[in-house]
C-alpha cells in the first residue's frame, strides 16, 4: 500500500510527448501491466490488465488536461487505485513523471511495474 513515483527524460518535446501518451489507444504500449484500453465515454475507459498473476477487466475514469500536460486516472474499488502522469519541458526534450497510489499491492511490485512502464515510454519515445 502507498504512493509511488518515478520519472523519465525524453528527447522529444513536451507537447508531442503528452499528445502521444494521453491517447487512450496508445496506453497499452506504455504501461507494462495494461493489455487493452478503450474509451467508452468522455472520461471513462474499459481496461484489461495483468495484476498479481491474473488478468483483471474493469472500468476506470480518465481525465486529460492538455493545457497543463497532465493526465489523471483511477479505478473504483477497495484498492483506491489512482495515478497521475505529467509532462514538462526539460532542456531540449521533456520529463515524464508518473505517480501512483494504491491501498493494496499485495503480491505486486508496484515500483518495479512503474519502472518497467517508464522504460517502455523511453524506448518508444526516445531517451537522451
CATH code of the domain covering residue 110:
3.30.530.20
Is 41 among the domain residues?
no
How many distinct structural domains can be found in the chain?
1
pTM above 0.85, yes or no: yes
Is 48 among the domain residues?
no
Which of the 8 DSSP states describes residue 66?
A: G
The per-residue pLDDT for range 92-127, each reduced to its tens digit, is: 999 999 999 988 766 568 888 889 999 999 999 999
Q: What whole-number distance in Å separates Cα of residue 26 and Cα of residue 20? A: 7
At residue 56, the pLDDT reads: 84
The per-residue pLDDT for range 29-85, each reduced to its tens digit, is: 988 788 999 999 989 999 998 877 888 898 999 999 999 999 999 988 888 889 999
> What is the domain extent for residue 82?
2-34+63-125
Is 72 among the domain residues?
yes
Of the candidates 30, 63, 60, 40, the residue with the CA atom closest to the CA atom of residue 48? 60
Q: Which residues of 18-51 are buried (b: 16+ CB within 10 A; e: fewer)?
A: bebbbebeebbbbbbbbeebeeeeeeebebbbeb
Is 79 among the domain residues?
yes
Amino acid at each position: 500500500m502507498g504512493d509511488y513515483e518515478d520519472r523519465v527524460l525524453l528527447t522529444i518535446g513536451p507537447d508531442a510527448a503528452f499528445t502521444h501518451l494521453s491517447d487512450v489507444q496508445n496506453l497499452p504500449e506504455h504501461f507494462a501491466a495494461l493489455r487493452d484500453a478503450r474509451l467508452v465515454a468522455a472520461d471513462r475507459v474499459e481496461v484489461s490488465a495483468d495484476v498479481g498473476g491474473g488478468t483483471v477487466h474493469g472500468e476506470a475514469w480518465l481525465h486529460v488536461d492538455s493545457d497543463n500536460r497532465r493526465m489523471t486516472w483511477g479505478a473504483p474499488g477497495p484498492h483506491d487505485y489512482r495515478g497521475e502522469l505529467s509532462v514538462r519541458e526539460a532542456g531540449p526534450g521533456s520529463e515524464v513523471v508518473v505517480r501512483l497510489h494504491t491501498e493494496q499491492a499485495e503480491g505486486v511490485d508496484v515500483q518495479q511495474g512503474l519502472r518497467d512502464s517508464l522504460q517502455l515510454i523511453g524506448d518508444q519515445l526516445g531517451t537522451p
